[in-house]
Amino acid sequence: MKNLHTSTFRKPAVAGLFYPSDAPQLSSDVKQYMADAHPQKLSPKALIVPHAGYIYSGAIAATAYATLIARREVIRRVILLGPAHRVAVRGLALPGADYFNTPLGSVMVDKQAIQSIVNYPQITISPEAHALEHALEVQLPFLQYVLADFRVLPLVVGAASAQEVAELLDTVWGGDETLIVISSDLSHYLPYVEARQVDQATVQSILQLEQSITHDQACGGTAINGLIVAAQRHHLKPVLLDLRNSGDTAGTRDQVVGYAAIAFCEQ
């Protein structure tokens, strides 16, 4: 019997805006960011990475993704959570798509992982929430560059509790084959010196596994708080890899956006 299911693809929304739409240029840019990164010898279970345009936050993201190089063949599933910037969401939203496309190719959505969480009350299916959302999309070219063969569980996080996020993370926790990526920037549009102070305080709270991280501190605060709860349960230790802002990379210093790369490793 023929398979009547037609695969659905979530198309890139910010290719050509946040990162190059030309595949060779994108590959070259990611390769250069990775080459310039100085990876610490860690084996993270989870990462917090920024999600701005690559000229602003690509170098900071690369410091996180560089820690995965040694596990290129090991990681087979990435649980990817990021904030809802454009569409209001109650709970956490699945995309209702089979693949996420980028200029570097297609990434398959992990249907097995979806089946394990789809009946949770905090889970919804919202192609609209994913259609224009950049927070998850900008992570994919880095993951495609670093990892050999993986599937992704993409979740846009809206109005949810830390416990609701942690419950999902516990369900799909897995072993060495599973990586959790939380996509979040830090403070937004503060003057450079003030932003540095605010972001350093936010990072200290995360490193001490203290919640609640507010959305003023980090746009992905809800997902970060959920990761903190899960990290406490699973005895993960956060390690700061990089902390900068747009005034350090490609922007002016009158109004900056903060970026951190943080690895969570088993103790």
- Per DSSP, the residues of 34-79 read HHH----S--EEEEEE--S-HHHHHHHHHHHHGGGGGGTTT--EEE
The domain locations on the chain are 42-266
- For residue 96, give the 3-state DSSP assignment: coil
pLDDT for 39: 81
3-class DSSP assignment, residue 123: strand
Question: E strand or H helix at 116, and its extent?
Answer: helix 111-117
42-266: in CATH 3.40.830.10: yes
| 256 close to 190: Cβ distance less than 8 angstroms | yes
pLDDT at 4 (0 to 100): 55
Tokens coding 206: 């995360």
CB 143 within 8 A of CB 108: no
Residue 184's H or E segment, with its range, is: none
Are 99 and 109 in contact by the 8 Å Cβ rule? The answer is yes
pLDDT given at position 2: 44
pLDDT of residue 3: 52
Check residue 182 and report its DSSP letter.
E
Beta-ladder partners of 237: 265
CA 50 – CA 95 distance, rounded (Å): 21
Tens place of pLDDT per residue across the chain (267 aa): 445 568 999 999 999 999 999 999 999 999 999 999 988 899 999 999 999 999 999 999 999 999 999 999 999 999 999 999 999 999 999 999 999 999 999 999 999 999 999 999 999 999 999 999 999 999 999 999 999 999 999 999 999 999 999 999 999 999 999 999 999 999 999 999 999 999 999 999 999 999 899 999 999 999 999 999 999 999 999 999 999 999 999 999 999 999 999 999 998
Count CB atoms within 10 A of the CB of residue 36.
Answer: 12
Return the closest-CA partner of residue 82 out of 28, 18, 30, 148.
Answer: 18
Residue 78 confidence (pLDDT): 99
Spatial contact of 48 and 206, defined as CB atoms under 8 Å apart: yes
CA distances from 29 to 1, 33, 53, 162, 166 (A): 45, 6, 12, 35, 34
d(CA 86, CA 238): 29
What's this model's pTM, rounded to 2 decimal places?
0.97
Peptide bond into 205 cis (omega under 30): no
Query: Is residue 9 helix, strand or coil?
Result: strand
At residue 241, the pLDDT reads: 98
Cis peptide before 246 (omega within 30 of 0): no
